[in-house]
Amino acid sequence: MLKLNNLTKSYGRIKAVNNINLEVRPGEIFGFLGPNGAGKTTTIKMIVGLLKPDEGMITLAGIDIWQEPLKAKSMISYVPDNPAVYDKLKGIEFLNFIADMYGISKEERLRKIDYFSKLFNIEHALENLISSYSHGMKQKLVLTSALINDPKLFILDEPMVGLDPKSSFNLKEIMRQMCDEGKIVFFSTHVMEVAERLCDRIAIINKGQIVTVGTMEELRSSAKDEETLEKIFLELTEDE
Ligand code: ATP
């Protein structure tokens, strides 16, 4: 279980995340939606241990992410919206570097690298420098690196942006497969159709606060009519 308790974070006078509470269960694909500046990235960065909350607590499988960061981080893979990669490394060197950090055995990493690099169609480029990669190739390299350690929590910020239809389809299949194995997949997106089709539950955040959370059915039943996620989203996030 991933638990966010009374989580708050400000940048100066801007309250980016304002006292949010959320529970995500193993086996769920959880969509985190909200307009620009709503607080999605700030929340995600706190979950993965990159930003320290001003108040509140985050636990994963009972482990406090700020009290036991190494233990918690060994269970997490994070794909940011704009991943930084080491341009002067070859693709394979980057993957081995990540595998080393997670302490993945030789056999296991070979198996994972072979499988995911083929799935994302980058296996032919692994001996080349990352600086020669296109944006999409870098993204697929980072996705491959994030899947090497078989994370309990797979957390992605806007993962579909820049992926071609086949890679996007493959990623969605992987997300579903991970959930079937009892993992948590938590991702932010602006693409309502993806969220509507893929997620078991959805939370909408606006101005740093969760305005609704539930399954698509629950969101629909609390809306005015039988509505699409897009309409529900717009109603809940419009400025009064
Ligand atoms: P987007 O959809 O545009 O990625 P988001 O939902 O991820 O937006 P955040 O990036 O978490 O939103 O931003 C939440 C609020 O915090 C916004 O008001 C934003 O301007 C502010 N903010 C975010 N990062 C910083 C920062 N480094 N310094 C100051 N303010 C920040």
Q: Where are the domains of the chain?
A: 1-75+153-240, 83-150
Cα of 57 from ligand 1 centre, angstroms: 20
Examine the pLDDT at 240 and tell me if it is beyond 60.
no
Task: Quote the pLDDT of residue 222.
Answer: 78
Residue 115 pLDDT level (bands cut at 50, 70, 90): very high
Average pLDDT, integer, range 151-160 = 92
Give the SS3 label for residue 212: strand
Backbone angles phi and psi of 184, in degrees to 5: -105, 130
Cβ of 36 closer than 6 Å to ligand 1, yes or no, is yes
Rounded-to-integer distance, Cα 71 and Cα 80, Å? 20
Give the closest residue to 76 by CA, choosing from 21, 137, 141, 2: 2
Q: Where are the alpha helices (DSSP H) in 30-183?
A: 40-47, 69-73, 91-101, 106-119, 135-147, 165-180
Cα of 38 from ligand 1 centre, angstroms: 7
Cβ of 41 closer than 6 Å to ligand 1, yes or no, is yes
Residue 226 pLDDT level (bands cut at 50, 70, 90): low
Examine the pLDDT at 235 and tell me if it is beyond 90.
no
Q: What is the DSSP string of 116-135?
A: HHHHTT-GGGTTSBGGGS-H
Cβ of 80 closer than 6 Å to ligand 1, yes or no, is no
The CATH class that applies to domain 1-75+153-240 reads alpha beta
Chain-wide mean pLDDT for the chain? 92
Cα of 45 from ligand 1 centre, angstroms: 11
**Which residue would you say has higher pLDDT here, 240 or 34?**
34
Q: Which of 31-45, 117-131, 223-237 has the lowest mean pLDDT?
A: 223-237
Q: Which amino acid residue places its CA nearest to atom 16 of ligand 1? A: 16
* Atom number, ligand 1, closest to the C-alpha of residue 42: 11
Q: What is the pLDDT of residues 53-105, one digit of tens each?
A: 999 999 999 999 999 999 999 999 999 988 788 999 999 999 999 999 999 99
pTM summary value: 0.92
Q: What is the pLDDT of residues 197-225, one digit of tens each?
A: 999 999 999 999 999 999 988 888 877 76
Cβ of 39 closer than 6 Å to ligand 1, yes or no, is yes
Q: Which amino acid residue places its CA nearest to atom 13 of ligand 1? A: 37
Neighbour tally for 16: CB within 10 Å:
22
